Structure 1
Amino acid sequence: MYKNHKIAVIVPAYNEEELIVETLQGIPPFVDIIFAINDASQDHTLALIQKQQQEDARIQCIDHKTNQGLGKSLIDGYVASKHSDTDITAVMAGDNQMHPDDLPMLLDQIIDHGYDYVKGNRLLHQNITVMPRYRFWGNALLTILTKFATGYYAMMDPQCGYTAIRNSALRKIPIEQMTRGYGYNADILCMLNIQRFRVTDAEVRPVYDREKSKIKLWKYIPKTSWILTRLFFRRLWQRYVILDFHPLVLFYFFAFFNTLCILFPFTVRFFVMYFTYHELPKTTLTILIFTFLISFQSILFAIWMDMDYNKN
């Protein structure tokens, strides 16, 4: 128990035989329950979890017979936790990449400052230079896209999986519908934003030692970008149309309509006429410029209103 709050920790693991024992043994003693999820590992991860389970009564093992992805491992952990009597649920990866000494900083944001969900931010740490350069730039791109998708514009480092959530908030979101693969972190943020829960960052140290990332950025970024696009439109529809109405959806719709129905076809017309007649079609060019400017202005207004609406 931590500050009179019962704490649960979810530890998803897939082929983590090298580091799973260190991860489980390093979880602070104030944690009440540890949900260790073995996602059909092909190595000795399950056996090691079961061995630790005999030594540590806090550990509850959830074993997947087939590999179902990181998101599904977290879903099972969250569902088990929300049906328990714990107050806060944290996530610590099975590769020992999340320093256990940072866990109190996440929990304090919920207990002492009233936030509902806290995620780690490695970019705040002075030792961020240890993050591989390709991860840093990939993270920066996905951070920008995630801000638009989730509505939490002040948030940084959304790819950090070191998180904590208040169980009262966990029970109010459809966590069972969360994305089962990578992209789950943006999905849960989107759910929280739709329900107007308070989210913040907490500084955590980046740990890159013996762990080997299973993320292939050349696959991960395009796939996650598509997921973020879907989340963006889902958030607009559910929060600003179904649950409440806000004129920013009209600005977004106007910009998208202009782009698809005017800007794109007139761009095609411009190049066809240019390469056919070898001269600039002035009328078409004028329409293109005018449409682009009003669409861009409309998007800026929508973003500004979205940021203002979510500033708290």
Structure 2
Amino acid sequence: MVEGKRVAVVVPAFDEELLVADTIAGIPDFVDTVVIVDDRSRDATADRAAATGDPRVEVIRHEANRGVGAAIVTGYARCLELGIDVTCVMAGDNQMDPGELESLVAPVARGQVDYAKANRLVTGEAWDLIPHSRYLGNAVLSLLTKIASGYWHVADSQAGYTALSLGALRRLDLDRLYRRYGFPNDMLVHLNVQNARVRDVPSRPVYGVGERSGIRIHRVAPRIAWLLFKGFWWRMLQKYVIRDFHPLVFFYALGGLMTLVGLILGLIVAISRIFFGNEITTATVVLVALLLVSGTQFVLFAMWFDQEANKDLR
């Protein structure tokens, strides 16, 4: 327990027979329950977890591989049944420092925030320890997640080391959460609709412990970007139209439309000039410039309105 609150750790695991026992062994004593969710591993992950003999451990096996997000949702559902006050998520590959768990749990247990997540990018070690391709991909996705989720103060969106309050867990629609690698990003979008308070907690990147990453940035990043695009408009509809009203939706819609039309018209004019030698009139140039400048300004104003609307969720 922490601050008199029961704490559980959900460990999604897929083919982690080499490291899952070390992960369990490192989980601090203040954790009351450890839920290992074996996502239909092809090795002995579930058996190795059960063989640790830790009385806190409960192993749940998926009959089919559903994805890391689905494994976390299964763990969340189990902790919801148990009425756990603070539910944390740690990967099964021993890449998350268990010594940092209390710093994630404490603000949630005290009721200061609803969701605490690790941020590996604020330390000076991140660029040196994280593979550069993953670091840059993470930075781009973090920027997109800020826009999509409305949590402008949050970075390192791909960090899966988190702590969630029971109240926030009860308000989430677990069936709507994304089931695969974009889960942390989608989670933030759904939490924002619930007006959950979120805090980043500095974390030390851990690499070179024998982990095997199944993430391929060139494949995963486009899917997550598309997920965030859909999540952004879903959040606009849910938060600023259905549950309440804010004029920023008009700024985003008009700004996006004007920018898109300006880009298309500018491209058509450029092609017409380059390939067909057609003259470009002053009126056409002014129209394209007006659309692009006005559209960009509208979008920037919408971002500022969104940031102001969410400033109390820190």
TM over 0.5: yes
Bin of the TM-score, shorter chain as denominator length: over 0.9
User: Structure 2 matches for 1:1-312, cutoff 5 A?
Assistant: 1-52=1-52, 55-112=53-110, 114-128=112-126, 129-209=128-208, 210-260=210-260, 262-274=261-273, 275-312=275-312
Secondary structure of the residue aligned to 1:86 is coil
Q: Check conservation: 1:79, 1:176, Cα contact below 8 A.
A: no
Q: Distance in 1 between matches of 2:36 and 2:51?
A: 12
Does the 8 Å contact 1:109/1:202 carry over to 2? no
- 1:278 is displaced (CA, Å) by 4.3
Post-superposition offset of 1:272: 4.2
Distance in 2, Cα, partners of 1:148 & 1:173: 20
Q: How many angstroms apart in 2 are the aligned matches of 1:162 and 1:310? A: 23
Query: Helix, strand or coil for the counterpart of 1:8?
Result: strand
Instruction: Output one character per residue of 1:45-102: Cα deviation in whole Å (capped at 9) or x when no partner.
Output: 12212212xx112111110121110010001000111111310000010000001100
**Segment drifting more, 205-214 vs 98-107:** 205-214
- Structure 2 distance, partners of 1:77, 1:283, is 60
- What 5-or-longer segments of structure 2 have no aligned partner? none
Q: CA RMSD in A?
A: 1.3
TM-score, normalization by structure 1 = 0.95
Distance in 2 separating the partners of 1:290 and 1:140: 31
Local SS of the residue matching 2:50: helix
Asked whether the equivalents of residues 263 and 292 of structure 2 are also in contact (C-alpha less than 8 Å), the reply is no
Extract unaligned runs of 5+ from structure 1: none
Point out the more displaced range, 277-286 or 150-159. 277-286
Q: 1:109-157: CA deviations, max 9, x gaps?
A: 2134610000001122343221111111111101100000100001011
Identity of aligned residues (%): 38
Q: Is the Cα–Cα contact under 8 Å of residues 83 and 166 in structure 2 kept in the other structure? A: no
Q: C-alpha distance in 2, partners of 1:12/1:122?
A: 20
Q: How many residues align structurally? A: 309
> What whole-Å deviation, never above 9, does each CA across 1:225-281 have from its counterpart, x for those lacking one?
011111111111100000110010011111122234x32442243134313234333
Query: Would the aligned equivalents of 1:105 and 1:203 in 2 still touch at CA under 8 Å?
Result: no
Between 1:27-36 and 1:127-136, the stretch displaced more is: 127-136
TM-score (norm 2): 0.95
Equivalent pair of 1:110/1:118 in contact (CA under 8 Å): yes
